[in-house]
Amino acid sequence: MNILVLAAHPDDETIGMGGTIKKLSKNNKIHLCVVSEGASAQYSDEKMITVRRNACKKSGKILGISDYTFLDFPDMQLDTIPHLEINIELEKIREKINPKIVYTTPNDDLNKDHQKVFESTLVMTRPHSSNVKHVLSYEFPGKRKISLNHNVYEDITNEFKYKIKAFKMYKTELKNFLHPRSLKAVESIAIMRGIESGLQKAEAFNLIHHIND
């Protein structure tokens, strides 16, 4: 089965659902689409776009991602891009891949890029114009504009070590604890979601829609 994972920036997919990607990649083809180049807002050197893209591919190799699309919209400026323009690009990917499941960025945090990708996901997965049956948003650590109750948990006890190994590929993004992009923070969240769901380690999602054939 084809599964599409959407990320606003390189590393969203690993932090948000790296364990789940590893788990799903055993029996499914995982396509990752990164919507922005994920570097220009933080770094003046344009070479960092390539650095982050290469890190994404190295991380994806560990997690079992089959295929990549990098749309290269400007980092941290998706709210300045016409909504239709992003929608069109994502719809092209949907038509090419024909996924049955789409995972997308959260809509509950303060990152505008995450919010815009989430909104475009709702458009490109509309039941009357797509074959997508299941849409879920993954969690991203950090400050939230609202607090959502997660309603789907994935056991990543066996896959967690691959998530950490994959995240280490993003050397420029690793931070020290207490930063949410620290290795310890990523592990702490996995443990907390495990406690909530009766598992050792878990990733949490919000189910957007679910269609049974």
The predicted-structure confidence for 43-65, as pLDDT tens digits, reads as follows: 888 899 999 999 999 999 999 99
Q: For residues 155-178, give the mean pLDDT.
A: 95
Lowest mean per-residue pLDDT among 14-23, 34-43, 118-127, 136-145: 136-145
Mean pLDDT of the chain: 95
Is 185's pLDDT higher than 90? Answer: yes
Full residue range of the structural domain in which residue 153 is found: 2-210
64 and 30 in contact (C-beta within 8 Å)?
A: yes
Tell me how far apart the alpha carbons of residues 212 and 210 are, in angstroms, rounded to a whole number.
7
pLDDT at 162: 98
What single-letter amino acid sits at 141? P
CATH of the domain at 190: 3.40.50.10320
Indicate if the pLDDT at residue 129 is higher than 80: yes
The tally of domains found in the chain comes to 1
- Cα–Cα distance for residue pair 73/125, rounded to 1 Å: 20
Q: What is the mean pLDDT of residues 62-91?
A: 97
Q: What is the CA radius of gyration of the chain?
A: 16
